[in-house]
Structure 1
Amino acid sequence: MLYRICHITEYLYNAPVSHCYNLAHIIPRTSHRQKCISSDITLEPAAAFKSMRDDYFGNRAYHFEIQRSHKKLVLTATSKVETRKQFYDDKLEASVTCAEAWQLLQYTHDAELLMAREFLLDSPMIKIQPELRAYAEPLFTPNKPLLQAVMDLTQKIFTEFEYSPASTTIATPLDVVLNSKKGVCQDFAHLQIACLRALGIPAKYISGYIETLPPPGQEKLVGTDASHAWVSAFCPGQGWVEFDPTNNSIAAEQHILTAWGRDYFDVTPLKGVIFGGGENPILNVSVDVARV
């Protein structure tokens, strides 16, 4: 698949902002299943300073500073990305078993496994808790193929949790999400990652986009797509495999990856520091994912 993504972020302030420093993760990265062909970022007002670098996780990190007074900030990112489906779509049963995975992760000194173990640790927004381990543990029996167990957990979250945008914020603790059985894609990704880490399976948070298709016979509306979040789990011998608990699926060609990290904090699309602005700024986000 070849996609053109247009992501517009607009902040409207109640008072002038005299100065701001920002960090954005809005340029899709190149990975084993996708290639970022081109990207462009425009700012209103124009930046006094801007730079691009690869962050610790290899994501494209865009830094910019605006030094003129403004009451509106508009960032537009346009990218062209080629994607393909993952190799593991129909090969979940062929993975190592859960018992074999645990053995390899604990006792093998292979460089790839050692690097993956970094994603077993607690992170700013994901803390390992006994109740999260208990929630997932029955699915991870020793002789079950690991990737099948991860898919079973993906399905369990999809089945038992309600997608409810008004029920949580990005700061809602995981125990609240677990008890209420409500949330959005970020909550479900954090929940699945926490469960996997609690069981000794390395897991990453992935930020990106997903193409949404209109009902049959209807035309797709511009700007109706959205940012999305899903999970990548590490399987010894087979590497990182992406799962989407919000949609009960393995990430496919329609999943366009922007950045990965330990949790949402590492890959926030836009964050920064402003001087001024007043209280309660208005945030408007428009995302359009179009097949080229």
Structure 2
Amino acid sequence: MTATAQYRILHSTSYQYSEPVALCQNQLRMRPRTQPHLTCHECQVQIEPQPLSIDTHPDYFGNIVDSFSIEALHRSLIVNVRSRVSVFAPEAENLLDAPAWETLVGDVRAGTTPIDWQAREFTFGSTRIQHDPRFADYARQCLLPGVSVTEGVDALTRKIHRDFRYDTTATDVNTSTSHAFELKAGVCQDFAHIQIACLRSIGLPARYVSGYLRTYPPPGKPRLVGCDESHAWISVYAGSQIGWVDFDPTNAVRTGTDHIPICHGRDYDDISPMRGIVLGGGATTLRVSVDVAPVETTAEPALGPPIGPPLGTPVN
């Protein structure tokens, strides 16, 4: 039986300004959308002050975008996105039929099927991720000749987790992928960018995924509202028969029902949760909190089949 978990999610963003803001225009990418391993049952977006206009539309990658404008003086901006979703774990046995990675690279380059051709755009460089021989050499330590795509990416996911240090002080949102690779340290955004760079540098299609990760409190402690966070991982194309498969290098796992995907793109710049411009405002204080509350499960939720030694508390 396929494992399923249902969640209610509240993503709250609050800006406080020292001076009045005369105008702000923003885009949100926080709405879940129904996709192969997720069903979105409902989603509500609340914005204070009330926007003069708001437009909801898909972007190039199919992510749902809320664009809004506020054209009245205000000293704060509060955005609450409430969703209810069901997440389904991928069927592990399907991954056994994945082709050798070199075969897949050839199929993608040739556009053997329409889905191969569509995946091809995720082999090119993007704003934050460029091809580099260093990334290719690192990837080939795991993607050996004849190894299947999924087996090789499993190994690369485990290697990144082993070789890189999770350190929230080592990088920031603007750190380049090359610099994070040199540091051998960073956070989930850096780990995802590095793994994508490695895969694209050898010709494999890979995309950046943003979402949420359900975490667990220490034994005997209650789950704290707002303790969950935004998270990032990667999705690799495993051929026309399997499609896209997600891996989390921060936690060395293939994703399961604890991973809640929201958006995907070439890298973080395509799918940052909130971006925009303001006129005025002075000094800004930003607060973000995410609450992922389980509603119902039909099987024990899990991070997905571990691909390395048992881990402790998942890292966001």
Shorter-chain TM-score category? over 0.9
The amino acid of 1:227's aligned partner reads S
- What is the identity percentage for the equivalent residue pairs of Structure 1 and Structure 2? 39
CA distance in 2 between counterparts of 1:156 and 1:282 reads 37
Aligned counterpart, 2:47: 43
Structure 2 unaligned residues grouped into runs of 5+: 296-316
Q: CA deviation at 1:107?
A: 2.6
TM-score of the superposed pair, with normalisation by structure 1: 0.96
Aligned counterpart, 1:261: 265
Q: Does 1:98 align with 2:101?
A: yes
CA distance in 1 between counterparts of 2:230 and 2:12 reads 11
Aligned counterpart, 2:208: 205
Deviations 1:64-119, CA, capped at 9 Å, x for gaps: 1011111111100000001110123x554431112221222223431100000000
Contact 1:98 1:143 in 2 (8 A): yes
CA distance in 2 between counterparts of 1:103 and 1:26 reads 35
Structure 1 unaligned residues grouped into runs of 5+: none
CA distance in 2 between counterparts of 1:182 and 1:142 reads 28
1:162 to 161, 165, 169: 165
Q: Give the 4+ runs in structure 1 shifted more than 3 A.
A: 90-94
Aligned counterpart, 1:32: 36
CA distance in 2 between counterparts of 1:71 and 1:145 reads 54
The alpha-carbon distance between structure 1 residues 91 and 158, as it changes in their structure 2 partners (threshold 3 A), is: farther
Aligned counterpart, 2:195: 192
Aligned counterpart, 1:288: 291
1:7 to 8, 11, 20: 11
TM-score of the superposed pair, with normalisation by structure 2: 0.89
CA distance in 1 between counterparts of 2:33 and 2:219 reads 32
Q: CA deviation at 1:142?
A: 1.9
Q: Does 1:238 align with 2:264?
A: no
Structure 2 matches for 1:62-81, cutoff 5 A?
Answer: 62-81=66-85
CA distance in 1 between counterparts of 2:234 and 2:293 reads 23
Contact 1:92 1:145 in 2 (8 A): no
The amino acid of 1:251's aligned partner reads T
CA distance in 2 between counterparts of 1:161 and 1:4 reads 32
CA distance in 2 between counterparts of 1:124 and 1:108 reads 24
| 1:25 match: secondary structure | strand
The amino acid of 1:4's aligned partner reads R
1:222 to 216, 220, 225: 225
Aligned counterpart, 1:60: 64
Shifted more, 221-230 versus 9-18: the winner is 9-18
CA distance in 2 between counterparts of 1:38 and 1:99 reads 41
CA distance in 2 between counterparts of 1:233 and 1:160 reads 20
Contact 2:17 2:282 in 1 (8 A): yes
Deviations 1:171-205, CA, capped at 9 Å, x for gaps: 11112111111100011111111100001000010
Contact 2:109 2:117 in 1 (8 A): no
Contact 2:95 2:242 in 1 (8 A): no
2:254 to 235, 238, 250: 250
CA distance in 2 between counterparts of 1:92 and 1:152 reads 14
| 2:216 match: secondary structure | coil
| 1:219 match: secondary structure | coil
Deviations 1:212-236, CA, capped at 9 Å, x for gaps: 1111221100001000000000011
Q: CA deviation at 1:282?
A: 1.4
CA distance in 2 between counterparts of 1:258 and 1:43 reads 19
Shifted more, 163-172 versus 100-109: the winner is 100-109
The alpha-carbon distance between structure 1 residues 97 and 109, as it changes in their structure 2 partners (threshold 3 A), is: closer
Deviations 1:161-180, CA, capped at 9 Å, x for gaps: 11111111111111211111
Contact 1:51 1:63 in 2 (8 A): yes
RMSD: 1.1
Q: Does 1:130 align with 2:129?
A: no
Contact 2:237 2:243 in 1 (8 A): yes
